[in-house]
Structure 1
Amino acid sequence: MLLTSPQHLADAGLRERFHRRSLEHQRPLSTVTMAFTVVAFLCLVAARGLAGGAAAPLVYRLGCALVLALLVVAIPRTKSTWTFGAIGVAFSITLVVGLALNVAGAQQPLLWILPAMVVIPVCAAPLWLTPTHFFVGSALFYATAIGLLLGAPRTADVDIVVWMWVAAIGMPTAVVFHFGFYAFRRNHFLLEDQLAQLAATDPLTGLQNRRAFVAQAERRLADVARGGQVSAIFVDIDNFKSLNDRFGHAVGDLALRQVAQVLLDGTTHGDSVSRIGGEEFAVLSGEDLAGALRLAERLRGAIAALERPDGNLTASFGVAEHRGGENIMVLLDRADEALLRAKHSGRNRVCAERPLPDAPLQLLIEDACGAAGAAGSRHRWEDYYLTSHFQPLFSLSHQKQVGFEALLRGELDDGTLLPPAVLFAPKASSDEGVLDRASHAVHLANARASLPADGWLFLNILPATFVAEGYADELAGIVRRVGLAPGQVILEILESHGGSVDEMSRAAALYREHGFLIAVDDFGAGQSNLDRLLRIRPDIVKLDGELIRATGHGTGQPILPKLVSLLHQAGMLVVVEGVETTEELILAVESNVDFAQGYLLGRPAAEIAPPSSVHLRIDDAFDVIAQGRAHQYALFESVVEPYRVALLEAADALRAGAEMKCAFASLATFEHCVSCFILDDAGRQVGAEVPGPAWSKESASLHPVANPRDARWDHRPYYRNAVLLPGVAIASNPYLSLASGRPCIAVTLAVQFEKERSVIGVELDWSAQGLPWPAGE
């Protein structure tokens, strides 16, 4: 609400708030001080035992100590200032009674009583919360204590000294201590309160700012959890930018203040009104949705009566009622979504939140119990229908259909498909999860009649839904209700925000307990990474469709085979999506992909249909690969063979004692030769390499590792394979050369010389387009 000055706050309960704040600060100090006083009293009891004269029974004095201790224990539990003050008064009187019992029978009672009468009120003065407590407590203390003094015989001079200490020193000092400390606490509170107001106030309108509104709303929703209703109203001034641009910011500021005043005048003291930012305002009302809509309509009419230079102000309103368990941000999201609809539908109107659709479980129960359970059934959702389309997945090795991915579609009354941008348009976060769960019920209801017994159903699931508490049990129950087994369902975690990797890993274990299989969708795009896979450990990884078309830099060779090999080594099966051409299908088969999906193999359809001749198309791909391997091998060998022959000749020359440069002279003239080299038994280079024509080509030389003489190469396959087959010239698979930064091939030969074995070889530049790669690559 509109914030006011400290003076106005004083009239509205500032003193009460100050005293309650003081109570929070004083409880710990009072507890420690009064506990110390109990210890001091026990010391006094012990000292009295050492003094002469008949003393009051010890049990009475220890009883006073017990009462004092109980009052100390009660201090931290006090909730009101009056209770706190009553405990202070009781403590003071009990302390005086204990003193009286303690000095009874003492030869010099005044020596025991006088210090306590001076010290106790002075030490207690800062602890009293209010002046009223101070005066009442001090008066009762002195009245009781002075009664002790009057009963003891004294000479005139002693009497003067006693009253000087009590009246001239003790009482004034206690007054100064109390009011000085009280003023300090009050000033500190006023400053703290003023700073809190400034931090929570929008300076232009005097309303709460966004931070203060959210904090107050969170406290309000915590109370609502114990019963009650709360609704949020979002307000946005229409065409406010034009007001600033055409008439200046002074006019715009005036309009903001006027709207703020209308909102304050139109709401009750219990409502919270805030300027959220710019021309947006928010109201938190203790009404249900219907009452909040009526309030919003009254406020809209009042704002429409305000004038602006070119007509009248108008504002759009979005209203949402709090739902159990949601936080303030979700509530505001739903009110904001309603506000956007009000703006898009013409402004100067009130729109309510979208009603909750039927729960997914209820949707499924209706489908399962009714006759309309076949694929293609439609289910009402908001102002359209939800239905399922199914796209087949094929096992390439088995050349058969093994499952179907369920895809959500929206249909209008006339059967027209709703654009995906409308169906999946961003909504409040709660709505997204509800639509996701509803899609599972729709797909399962539509698939139950025609899903083959040995077929999988792939269900897309948002990460936030996947990790939702209790959803594993709920979904398993839905699956069993429609007559399917969780083992037939593969949950395909979508590439989306929501849920940490740790949460998804824990959730995956719960789903697996029911028998579900887990897949990760669109690996290679967005948030997907290898760490995510290794933590979740999915059974299946679906590769993003772009990966089938991705090639290595500078080579034009597909990277799919290596990626599939990596995932297989991690224990995961692989699906390639987006197979649209025969060439892509052939690449998927050649890359050892397990399953494929795409328009070439089958388009999404409303019904699950038996496969046609797709298996023949896959079989043709296998035939093409089988025929191509022999041709690819022949091409590769035809290019590499001259290098093998020349390398064998170089080996003969080296064994005959020729120098390295002369032995490699012929080989170093071949077109693709980067360099010729000799490696010793430890894989280190012997002497300088002999450069060839490809050496001089411009390349992305990796300077820190460009010198091959600094390294060991016995770990490389081209070295190991040559050693395993001595005397045979071995051609390696293409690799990225550290020396040149280019794709290269090495032809190597293990040669036994008189004293040691060496590996000689030639590195070939294999980066040119059109060069054949080995059939296995």
Structure 2
Amino acid sequence: MSTIPTQHQPQPSLRERFHRRSLEHQRPLSLVTMGFTVLAFLCMVAARELVGAPSAPLGYRLLCALVLALLVLAIPRTKSTALFGAIGVVYMLVLVGGVVLNARGLVDPLVWLLPALVVIPICAAPLWLTPMHFVTGNALFYAVAIALLLGNTHSREVDAAVWTWVIVIGAPSAAVFHFSFYRFRRNHFLLESQLAQLAATDPLTGLQNRRAFVKHAEGRLETRAPGAQISAIFLDIDSFKSLNDRFGHAVGDHALFQVAQVLKDAVALYHSASRIGGEEFALLLDDDLAGALRLAERLRVDIAAIERPDGYLTASFGVAEHRPGESFMVLLDRADEALLRAKQTGRNRVCAARALPFDPLQPPFDDGFAPHAAGNDPSAARYRWEDFYLISHFQPLYSLSHQKQVGFEALLRGEQGDGTLVPPIVMFAPKPSSDEGALDRASHAVHLGNARRTLPGDAWLFLNILPATFVADGYADQLTTIVRAAGLEPERVILEILESHGGSVDDMSRAAARYRQHGFLIAVDDFGAGQSNLDRLLRIRPDIVKLDGELIRATTHGTQQPILPKLVSLLHQAGMLVVVEGVETAEELILAVESNVDFAQGYLLGRPAAEIAPPESVHRQIDDAFDVIAQGRAHQHALFESEVEPYRLELRRAADDLRAGVMMDDAFATLATFARCISCFILDETGRQIGHEVRGPAWCKDAASLQPVANPRDARWDHRPYFRNAVLLPGEAITSNPYLSLASGRPCIAVTLAVQLGSGRCVMGVELDWSARGLPWPAGE
């Protein structure tokens, strides 16, 4: 069996393949050469018009030029060598006819004809694809030329010269050119074929190698007829490593060769077989799953008859049938998954890839869904998946500002026939036969079928989607079809990209644009966990970001202040709405409201369930959170003001002393004794420190890691808010929000005052250590 893939029709002979390849090479050369000849012929026609002797009608000669040009234009469209040769023959005949017409009426026509009779066959010789074309074209050329010249009388000397040029020089030169060029092309083709064969063949087994097999298979899928069935078989020799380890690689190589011979003999009527690598082989055949399983079983039996030193070889097989819209690599992966299942269930057996329980691209919303078991909601829908049913649970999301339900996240659940739920750890456990993408697509159909029966008409539906599904070719169009078949519009659906492997950020960014064109909104789930990062958000540009539940409980080091407000502010500045998940206590709800979160979700607001619970009690909880914040804001402000007011008063007194001429150390002496004082300082108009700093009780030796930036005199501070705000309000003691001090590495607060001294305007201030737990922070924080 040849290792080059075959078709069901007979494979072309070497000669035929050579001529087809020559046609590809010759077509552009012939186009240019023959096109140039048309121009040369038109030049001869123009030159003939300058001669006063009677001539054939100009229209006939121009008609010849037009026919020649049309023949040249037909060359790029020629698909067969026979048609190419026919065009060449007709072209030669029309050309010689035009040349003879052009010379008619001249006293010495041979002066015009002889160069053409010699040059044309020589120039055309390399262009003929086959010797048959060459002989036929040249014979007809000379025959027509002689026939058209009959009747013209010439002297014997002229006849002798003409025939000498034609017979001795023209025809032999043309033959030498044609056969030499033909031989060169043939040798080049044979070398090219040999190199292609070596590049596509596994040297040990003679089968196709992986690269050639994949390329051929992808081409087959692209060119297959509508409705044609294609299947893949993936096989692996069992316990092959032990064969090499115990008996040597020579024995292992011989076993691989014998398996390859079995495949060659068995798939002679099919398309291709390949050694994918190591002890793995793959086959692609024109058949459905049942036919592929029969062939795989026959191969299993044949391989089991091959002897090895300690018994007989065995192999495990995985079989998969191609699905519409599926790439070849996905088909091969499904066959590989079935092979893995055959390995794990005992080896030396054939397993088929699991079929989808239903086609999610054409969801049977009206008839295919089965009603729930007795006692459950009869209007809900479920669908069979493996040995259980898929159902939907919905968890509400609330707009905190509107204090109402605005959407529901659809969560997939498994249900036994008696109505008991399948534990998620069992339902989503990785299995050799599992197709995570298929389950993901199936969940969309299930959720949409239930959403139209369950959700309020103005609510969003949050659909979880794996990155691999999200970026799949054509799925944006397919999901739009599913949504509309469910009686919904894409504008009501928010696609929630799960935290998972399966798609690059660039692919997801391009896919997001496709989904938005259909009207879908995009959300990113679990920001703050796993692979999520700001770069991913800024490139995908989701409409909504769902924060991982742990972020609501995350705090800063030392002060234990929540980081949620700053994170929400950052995402809002990037143009994204924010959902916080995992709200389980009233304190977390209050923090979410205080942090300006847009939407909240969690057990406190509603657990996932098949039925939607009344929202009134949650509305009251959210309203209570707003009341608590309103009451606490005034209290927090009062505590903060009471804590910093002594520093403001003493800073004003120090300013009065400095204006009165008191030295800096004396002016700051009292302020520097206050418990939270790190240091007192004076900055000039450019924000650079004047003189030394007066250290207070809270000052300590800087950490070694901050030593390069520990000296504030080396820096310029006019970009800091505490400097800018003081300059804007001269004479008023300004208190900053807490910030991380570059010099001390601790959360600090600065109290500053812009004053006019003898040396000019300056900003004096005191930096306070605000890292202790329990200290009040500004209400805005």
TM-score range, shorter chain: 0.7 to 0.9
Q: 2:494, 2:522 within 8 Å by CA — same for their partners in 1?
A: yes
Aligned to 1:168: 168
Q: 1:441, 1:478 within 8 Å by CA — same for their partners in 2?
A: no
Aligned to 1:299: 299
Aligned to 2:767: 763
Tell me the distance in 2 between the aligned counterparts of 1:87 and 1:478. 56
Tell me the distance in 2 between the aligned counterparts of 1:217 and 1:209. 12
3-state secondary structure, aligned to 1:440: helix
1:406 matched to 2:386? The reply is no
The alignment of Structure 1 onto Structure 2 pairs a total of residues equal to 765
Q: 2:243, 2:251 within 8 Å by CA — same for their partners in 1?
A: yes
Q: 1:300, 1:349 within 8 Å by CA — same for their partners in 2?
A: yes
Tell me the distance in 2 between the aligned counterparts of 1:416 and 1:422. 13
Deviation at 1:636, TM superposition (A): 5.0
**Distance 1:396-1:295 versus aligned 2 partners, 3 A rule:** same
Q: 1:375, 1:606 within 8 Å by CA — same for their partners in 2?
A: no
Deviates more, 1:204-213 or 1:220-229: 220-229
Alignment of 1:311-326 (within 5 A): 311-326=311-326
Tell me the distance in 2 between the aligned counterparts of 1:478 and 1:121. 69
1:365 matched to 2:370? The reply is no
Alignment of 1:580-659 (within 5 A): 580=584, 584-610=588-614, 640=644, 643-659=647-663
3-state secondary structure, aligned to 1:552: coil
Tell me the distance in 1 between the aligned counterparts of 2:368 and 2:110. 95
Tell me the distance in 2 between the aligned counterparts of 1:398 and 1:33. 78
Deviates more, 1:409-418 or 1:23-32: 409-418
1:503 matched to 2:511? The reply is yes
**Distance 1:389-1:58 versus aligned 2 partners, 3 A rule:** closer
Deviation at 1:264, TM superposition (A): 0.9
Deviates more, 1:283-292 or 1:423-432: 423-432
Q: 1:374, 1:450 within 8 Å by CA — same for their partners in 2?
A: no
1:288 matched to 2:293? The reply is no
1:559 matched to 2:563? The reply is yes
Alignment-mate amino acid for residue 389 of structure 1: H
Deviation at 1:331, TM superposition (A): 2.0
1:661 matched to 2:668? The reply is no
3-state secondary structure, aligned to 1:365: coil
**Distance 1:53-1:201 versus aligned 2 partners, 3 A rule:** same
3-state secondary structure, aligned to 1:745: strand
Alignment-mate amino acid for residue 516 of structure 2: A
Alignment-mate amino acid for residue 503 of structure 1: A
Alignment of 1:207-606 (within 5 A): 207-360=207-360, 362-366=363-367, 374=378, 378-394=382-398, 404-413=408-417, 417-420=421-424, 423-424=427-428, 432-446=436-450, 451=455, 457-462=461-466, 468-471=475-478, 473-480=480-487, 490-496=494-500, 497-498=502-503, 499-511=507-519, 519-526=523-530, 528-530=532-534, 540-553=544-557, 555-569=559-573, 572-580=576-584, 584-606=588-610
Deviates more, 1:609-618 or 1:231-240: 609-618
Q: Deviations over 1:412-434 (max 9, x none)?
A: 44556445455446799995454
- Percent identical across equivalent pairs? 71
Deviation at 1:395, TM superposition (A): 5.3
Deviation at 1:303, TM superposition (A): 1.0
Deviation at 1:535, TM superposition (A): 7.0
Deviates more, 1:522-531 or 1:115-124: 522-531
Tell me the distance in 2 between the aligned counterparts of 1:649 and 1:604. 61
Deviates more, 1:633-642 or 1:332-341: 633-642
Alignment-mate amino acid for residue 68 of structure 2: L
3-state secondary structure, aligned to 1:291: helix
Deviation at 1:266, TM superposition (A): 0.3
Aligned to 1:142: 142
Deviation at 1:450, TM superposition (A): 5.5
Q: 2:689, 2:712 within 8 Å by CA — same for their partners in 1?
A: no
Aligned to 1:7: none
Q: Deviations over 1:702-757 (max 9, x none)?
A: 747964554252x5332344456555543322112344444322121233446854
Aligned to 1:686: 690
Deviation at 1:70, TM superposition (A): 2.8
Aligned to 1:696: 701
Q: Deviations over 1:145-202 (max 9, x none)?
A: 4556775545555554444333332232222211221122122222222222222112
Aligned to 1:199: 199
Tell me the distance in 2 between the aligned counterparts of 1:46 and 1:397. 88
Aligned to 2:62: 62
Alignment-mate amino acid for residue 126 of structure 1: P
Q: 1:374, 1:445 within 8 Å by CA — same for their partners in 2?
A: no
Deviation at 1:402, TM superposition (A): 5.9
Q: 1:38, 1:65 within 8 Å by CA — same for their partners in 2?
A: yes
Aligned to 1:26: 26
Deviation at 1:312, TM superposition (A): 1.4
Aligned to 2:747: 743
Deviation at 1:607, TM superposition (A): 3.8
Q: 2:559, 2:774 within 8 Å by CA — same for their partners in 1?
A: no
Tell me the distance in 1 between the aligned counterparts of 2:545 and 2:386. 34
Tell me the distance in 2 between the aligned counterparts of 1:567 and 1:58. 80
Unaligned runs of 5+ in 2: 5-9
Deviation at 1:399, TM superposition (A): 6.7
Tell me the distance in 1 between the aligned counterparts of 2:49 and 2:732. 111
3-state secondary structure, aligned to 2:13: helix
Aligned to 2:132: 132
Deviation at 1:263, TM superposition (A): 0.8
**Distance 1:397-1:66 versus aligned 2 partners, 3 A rule:** closer
Tell me the distance in 2 between the aligned counterparts of 1:354 and 1:369. 21
Deviation at 1:436, TM superposition (A): 3.0
Aligned to 2:7: none
3-state secondary structure, aligned to 2:519: helix
Q: Deviations over 1:94-113 (max 9, x none)?
A: 33333333333322233223
Q: 1:375, 1:608 within 8 Å by CA — same for their partners in 2?
A: no
Deviation at 1:539, TM superposition (A): 5.4
Q: 2:668, 2:680 within 8 Å by CA — same for their partners in 1?
A: yes
3-state secondary structure, aligned to 1:354: coil
Tell me the distance in 1 between the aligned counterparts of 2:368 and 2:89. 73
3-state secondary structure, aligned to 1:364: coil
Tell me the distance in 2 between the aligned counterparts of 1:419 and 1:219. 44
Tell me the distance in 1 between the aligned counterparts of 2:601 and 2:326. 39
3-state secondary structure, aligned to 1:748: strand
**Distance 1:146-1:425 versus aligned 2 partners, 3 A rule:** farther
Q: 2:71, 2:91 within 8 Å by CA — same for their partners in 1?
A: yes
Deviation at 1:283, TM superposition (A): 0.9
3-state secondary structure, aligned to 1:64: helix
Q: 1:409, 1:418 within 8 Å by CA — same for their partners in 2?
A: yes
1:76 matched to 2:76? The reply is yes
Deviation at 1:302, TM superposition (A): 0.8
Q: 1:52, 1:106 within 8 Å by CA — same for their partners in 2?
A: no
Aligned to 1:104: 104
Deviation at 1:296, TM superposition (A): 1.2
Deviation at 1:276, TM superposition (A): 1.5
How big is the alpha-carbon RMSD for the aligned residues of Structure 1 and Structure 2? Answer: 3.8
Deviation at 1:769, TM superposition (A): 5.6
3-state secondary structure, aligned to 1:763: strand
Tell me the distance in 2 between the aligned counterparts of 1:150 and 1:299. 73
**Distance 1:123-1:519 versus aligned 2 partners, 3 A rule:** closer
